[in-house]
Structure 1
Amino acid sequence: MSLFINIGIGLLILGYVGFTVWKNFKKQQSGKCAGCVLNKHCTVKSCDSIVEKHEIPPYN
Structure 2
Amino acid sequence: MAPPGSRRWAYVRVMAGTILGGALERMEERLRRYEAHMLAKAREAQQLQDEAQLLPDS
TM-score (norm 1): 0.51
Q: Which residue of 1 aligns with 2:25?
A: 12
Report the RMSD for the aligned CA atoms in angstroms.
Answer: 1.7
Q: Which consecutive residues of structure 2, in runs of 5 or more, have no partner in the other structure?
A: 1-13, 52-58
The alignment of Structure 1 onto Structure 2 pairs a total of residues equal to 34
Note the alpha carbon deviations across 1:2-54, whole angstroms, 9 max, x for none: 0000010000100000000000000000016x6xxxxxxxxxxx7xxxxxxxx
Q: Which consecutive residues of structure 1, in runs of 5 or more, have no partner in the other structure?
A: 35-45, 47-60
Which runs of structure 1 show a deviation greater than 4 angstroms over 4 or more consecutive aligned residues? none
Classify the secondary structure of the residue corresponding to 2:32. Answer: helix
TM-score (norm 2): 0.53
Q: Report 1 or 2 for greater relative contact order, CA contacts < 8 Å, sequence distance ≥ 6.
A: 1
Decide which structure has greater helix share: 2
